[in-house]
Structure 1
């Protein structure tokens, strides 16, 4: 039987499957591949951890009841090590308590076997989109901090005072500078921060925590 349709992940995204049942791994791999999704399978969490990752957007389809380290224990381990990856739990022995624990710890979905193929594909699509958005926000934040660090000390001070609402003349008096010098520093700060408007600069400053005190 052919797999239900799912939008192909052409952006390099990948799904990792961890299940100690080879038949389940094969079935999930075939399903995901038939929907145009890259997938790698692992028989244990240790095997998953030992495999180098691509750095692409990803999610983890994880069996709750694994031999040795359980899926929930592994989820805790990932949280404790600040490893961020959306997790979709699958189980043949799930109950409400396990589901609640998994979701509270950050799982994006919890599917009890037998589940519909489309339910898994939908969960995977949602999880990958979540990771893509997270990575984009992290990239934007990294770029924002890099831009801010490119400012000189005076440019940072002028930016901080400006976003607090001080006029150029007030900033000049507080910093013992000429008003034209303040305007130059402010202009340089705008350019280096890639701010399209002063409102944009204010938004950036708030994101950085500058000018909040």
Structure 2
């Protein structure tokens, strides 16, 4: 067993960036890039499953992405539906568990229905957990958690003195899951863009110039090799 296999992250979070630029470089519409990005998504999920990664969280659609052109947003929602319809049988067969995190109430009805079916079908699977962040914002998640705690205190279920990190984390979308050990962002951008603000506190960051449609299992292995060489101190010496 090599160093990479010995030091695999339990949880990988990915900001899948660069679909639009990938398409523009080919003089194609942005949606063409998003379609290509789905192929990369399939490859990375498969690789993580084979490696025995516990959790993979994918930033698919942020709360800010609604500001994009209407046709692009509609196209992204349709791609989500198509991905779940085409891939869910194989994902389920491989023991993968699909969870969607974020405020799903704002999604189109068709997308919500497919998400619900995928989550229901794979709910009892015990393999790789794939969190798909949809209409997700880190600040919104923190506000949601704070309101949840406030409601518990108001109802007398919890006292102010009992509020700690564990109580707070129970109100996060990722409750019960390990925090990300590794956060990957493609396309050369070096920021977290309102993604998992609480959970990424001690994650290792890996930034690559590779655009998301070109990020395959080999690129993932490169990130894992670098991660394996890092010494995580968690504030200690």
| Bigger radius of gyration among the two | 1
TM-score grouping bracket, smaller chain normalisation: 0.3 to 0.5
Return the structure number with greater relative CO, CA threshold 8 A, min gap 6.
2
Q: TM-score, normalised by structure 2?
A: 0.32
Q: TM-score, normalised by structure 1?
A: 0.35
